[in-house]
Chains A and B, each alone.
Chain A
């Protein structure tokens, strides 16, 4: 174990914690921007620090291709290669394999696929994935899991869940740096509560430093989504971090935090920025919209980031999707928004005003009181009264 997780405050299931990792001490709940190829698109390290990023995610699949795990290892690990002084997390490479490569095939051995470089058949095994992640050197590494889309039904889901458990043992054996890198297991099982329960118990038995809830954010309906998160957070140990992979939208972060999750990652804030969409407390601001052409306000008058303190919607309207600077500036703002949200979640829990924060958040996002039913249901389980935010 190479981390320390200390809960500093709670409200029902929600918790604010201190997560001490080898490279950085973090505060949860937190959002991790995705730096796929060893960089967050268009932002420099000092900007990320200013924004308040604590952990960045790197993609094992992409990095193993270019520049290559050996090279990263030779040059002292990904931290040194990127010169990123805070924490890093790498995923196993499994998800990319399955989502990017049409000809991927999953067997007990591992994931076979066609190399995108020279079309040779390749095999990513649990051992290989851990070996690569050991070379990259991130603070948190993810087990190779058998990922199945939640939109699939049938015996494949059960097969994947049991295989995930068999693979975690292989990952644990293969992991050569447990004192420096934390191996997180990933809970699979689709939308089936029975399967999820088996998987959680199996992973908890292995006494891992942390746990992720995988296989979500892949197109399932929201009602199913929150129920799986709620079930898993209820069953996972209190004293270890819980990471919901692929989340996402600000609303999802708030709901999952209310249900007891701690960590999140998603490409959404940076990707949507490049298409000219900014994240604001009210929801989304589409900067390309003609209505923005003469709007002299900043993206978000309540935001204190460098972009909101210096630029108007009118000017950003001119540059988004047209000039690289447009990508940079909106990405900067969107990540600032996510970091601010993370901090607000943490602080409001610590200061004993979490329900008020959630209510305030929902009121601004849904001024007409039309809060989606799934949110109301989730909040009921979380023990947060949102009736004052709902229209009569």
Chain B
């Protein structure tokens, strides 16, 4: 694995950067960052099968997040190894898997059960405790391209003492994972925690940076910290990590949260945004080219709502034969109408979610691409400001109308 920063937004306190992540062989095109990890359930997207996954934009859509905890019960590690690991087992030979235990949906860090022996998670099969040795064994059978060490991720409201313990444990488990790793850390991402304590965040980052890992996974966010303190905490971490190594994060899902993470120098995001949108019947519609307009006058239909997304369950779409987004090149928009998806949602058909997950993934990947363009053009701050304002415009216009 190789990572290189391609553009850093220097000056004005800008930490945003673009990068290139080379995971496959040297002939594979790099994944440009900032980018998105596609969420999976037992290795596959929730609704998008491998043939539709292949039709999403590449190489952006090649990066998948996988949680080894999804495979605790089956198949057995032996069977997974016999089959040949994740790529073989899932029929996704061109894709890249980044393994981390927490997936913010089905493997939720549960800090009260975590003890010195292992990390506790709430899963659909109840509370599970995973020890570093068992974790590394699962990783060895799954053979992901990259994998994160184990962490004790705690919510923002724990005591200082508990927070300090989480940092000590996380560092200890990192060293244990490193010791058990036959590749000696070449495909490992060191987990950085520290909760809502700036000093602990700094301390943990500095410590992890000294280990022989290839990149970092920043944990503990999206667990109750408030938005204002988040930037301060993120900066405390990224300022103490080497520039030239890649940084992943989980727990920042919404576009605003992603923008916040990018502003602090994060490269890759494990987000549950698409999943929640899809289940709720929402489709993303916001335009990317927000830097081309002088005003915030988007070429959108006159929908109610926040102009980022439409709720296709709404009756106004019953006879709307336009695609979700005009000129969107995803399978859903090329083949189906808002009216059809509205019907599918009303009759609780699975196809609705398949079509929505395809479109939402396509669209969100487009958002990341637009972010990268903005960074390359030195306009990231403006991009961020415009986007955040556009999301709130429906509130101001509603006030004006009332």
The judgment on whether A and B are partners is yes
Point out residues on A near B: beta carbons under 8 Å: 37-39, 41-47, 62, 66-67, 71, 74-75, 81-83, 293-294, 296, 306, 309-312, 314-315, 317-319, 323-325, 327-329, 332
Whether the Cβ atoms of A44 and B52 lie closer than 8 Å is: yes
Tell me which residues across on chain A come within 8 A of B339, comparing CB atoms. Answer: 67, 71, 75, 81
Distance from A51 Cβ to chain B, minimum over Cβ atoms (Å): 11
Whether the Cβ atoms of B346 and A66 lie closer than 8 Å is: yes
Given A75-B321, A312-B89, is A317 in contact with B331 using a C-beta cutoff of 8 Å? no
Question: Measured between alpha carbons, how far is A152 from B344 in the docked complex, in Å?
Answer: 37
Given A67-B318, A317-B75, is A41 in contact with B50 using a C-beta cutoff of 8 Å? no
Question: Measured between alpha carbons, how far is A213 from B216 in the docked complex, in Å?
Answer: 66
Tell me which residues across on chain B come within 8 A of A82, comparing CB atoms. Answer: 340
Whether the Cβ atoms of A42 and B76 lie closer than 8 Å is: no
Tell me which residues across on chain B come within 8 A of A310, comparing CB atoms. Answer: 50, 90-91
Question: Measured between alpha carbons, how far is A318 from B214 in the docked complex, in Å?
Answer: 32
Smallest Cβ-Cβ distance to B336: which chain A residue: A83
Question: Measured between alpha carbons, how far is A317 from B41 in the docked complex, in Å?
Answer: 14
Given A39-B344, A75-B339, A83-B340, is A318 in contact with B75 using a C-beta cutoff of 8 Å? yes
28 sampled A-B residue pairs with Cβ under 8 A:
A37-B344, A39-B344, A41-B351, A42-B350, A42-B351, A43-B351, A44-B354, A44-B355, A47-B51, A62-B347, A67-B339, A71-B318, A75-B339, A83-B335, A83-B340, A293-B75, A296-B83, A310-B90, A314-B75, A314-B83, A315-B75, A317-B74, A317-B75, A318-B74, A319-B44, A325-B44, A327-B350, A328-B354
Smallest Cβ-Cβ distance to B51: which chain A residue: A306
Smallest Cβ-Cβ distance to A314: which chain B residue: B75
Q: Which of these, B90, B321, B349, contacts A39 with CB under 8 Å?
A: B349
Q: Which of these, A44, A74, A83, contacts B319 with CB under 8 Å?
A: A74
Whether the Cβ atoms of B319 and A319 lie closer than 8 Å is: no
Smallest Cβ-Cβ distance to B47: which chain A residue: A324
Tell me which residues across on chain B come within 8 A of A315, comparing CB atoms. Answer: 42, 75, 83, 89-90
The A-contacting residues of B in range 24-74, CB under 8 angstroms, are 41-42, 44-47, 49-52, 71, 73-74
Say what secondary structure dominates the interface of chain A.
helix
Distance from A74 Cβ to chain B, minimum over Cβ atoms (Å): 6
The A-contacting residues of B in range 266-283, CB under 8 angstroms, are none
Whether the Cβ atoms of B83 and A312 lie closer than 8 Å is: yes
Extra contacts, 13 of them, besides A45-B335, A81-B340 (Cβ < 8 A), are: A42-B351, A44-B354, A44-B355, A46-B335, A66-B346, A67-B346, A83-B336, A83-B340, A306-B49, A310-B91, A315-B42, A318-B42, A328-B350
The A-contacting residues of B in range 70-103, CB under 8 angstroms, are 71, 73-76, 78-79, 82-83, 89-91
Count chain B residues whose beta carbon lies closer than 8 angstroms to a beta carbon of A.
Answer: 42
Tell me which residues across on chain B come within 8 A of A45, comparing CB atoms. Answer: 335
B15 CB within 8 Å of chain A: no
Whether the Cβ atoms of A37 and B350 lie closer than 8 Å is: no
Given A44-B351, A66-B346, A71-B319, is A314 in contact with B49 using a C-beta cutoff of 8 Å? no
Question: Measured between alpha carbons, how far is A30 from B340 in the docked complex, in Å?
Answer: 27
Counting from the closest, the 8 A-B pairs by CB-CB distance are A310-B91, A42-B350, A37-B347, A67-B343, A39-B351, A314-B75, A318-B74, A294-B79
Smallest Cβ-Cβ distance to A329: which chain B residue: B49
B353 CB within 8 Å of chain A: yes
Tell me which residues across on chain A come within 8 A of B331, comparing CB atoms. Answer: 44, 46
Given A81-B340, A83-B340, A325-B47, is A37 in contact with B75 using a C-beta cutoff of 8 Å? no
The A-contacting residues of B in range 315-351, CB under 8 angstroms, are 318-319, 321, 331, 335-337, 339-340, 342-344, 346-347, 349-351
Count chain B CB atoms within 10 A of each CB in A42, A82, A324, A328 and give the residue with the most.
A324
Whether the Cβ atoms of A38 and B343 lie closer than 8 Å is: yes
Tell me which residues across on chain B come within 8 A of A47, comparing CB atoms. Answer: 49, 51
Tell me which residues across on chain A come within 8 A of B76, comparing CB atoms. Answer: 293-294
Smallest Cβ-Cβ distance to B343: which chain A residue: A67
Question: Measured between alpha carbons, how far is A104 from B46 in the docked complex, in Å?
Answer: 40
Q: Which of these, A66, A296, A323, contacts B46 with CB under 8 Å?
A: A323
Whether the Cβ atoms of B347 and A296 lie closer than 8 Å is: no
Whether the Cβ atoms of B79 and A293 lie closer than 8 Å is: yes
Whether the Cβ atoms of A324 and B353 lie closer than 8 Å is: yes
Tell me which residues across on chain A come within 8 A of B41, comparing CB atoms. Answer: 323, 325
Whether the Cβ atoms of A293 and B74 lie closer than 8 Å is: yes
Question: Measured between alpha carbons, how far is A143 from B51 in the docked complex, in Å?
Answer: 39
Tell me which residues across on chain B come within 8 A of A329, comparing CB atoms. Answer: 49
Whether the Cβ atoms of B321 and A42 lie closer than 8 Å is: no
Distance from B342 Cβ to chain A, minimum over Cβ atoms (Å): 8
Given A294-B79, A325-B47, A329-B49, is A42 in contact with B354 using a C-beta cutoff of 8 Å? yes
Question: Measured between alpha carbons, how far is A236 from B346 in the docked complex, in Å?
Answer: 41
Question: Measured between alpha carbons, how far is A323 from B336 in the docked complex, in Å?
Answer: 24
The A-contacting residues of B in range 342-372, CB under 8 angstroms, are 342-344, 346-347, 349-351, 353-355
Count chain A CB atoms within 10 A of each CB in B49, B51, B318, B355 and give the residue with the most.
B49
Question: Measured between alpha carbons, how far is A327 from B75 in the docked complex, in Å?
Answer: 18
Tell me which residues across on chain A come within 8 A of B47, comparing CB atoms. Answer: 324-325, 328
Distance from B2 Cβ to chain A, minimum over Cβ atoms (Å): 29
Distance from A58 Cβ to chain B, minimum over Cβ atoms (Å): 12
Q: Which of these, B50, B73, B79, B336, contacts A314 with CB under 8 Å?
A: B79
Question: Measured between alpha carbons, how far is A175 from B213 in the docked complex, in Å?
Answer: 73
Tell me which residues across on chain B come within 8 A of A46, comparing CB atoms. Answer: 331, 335
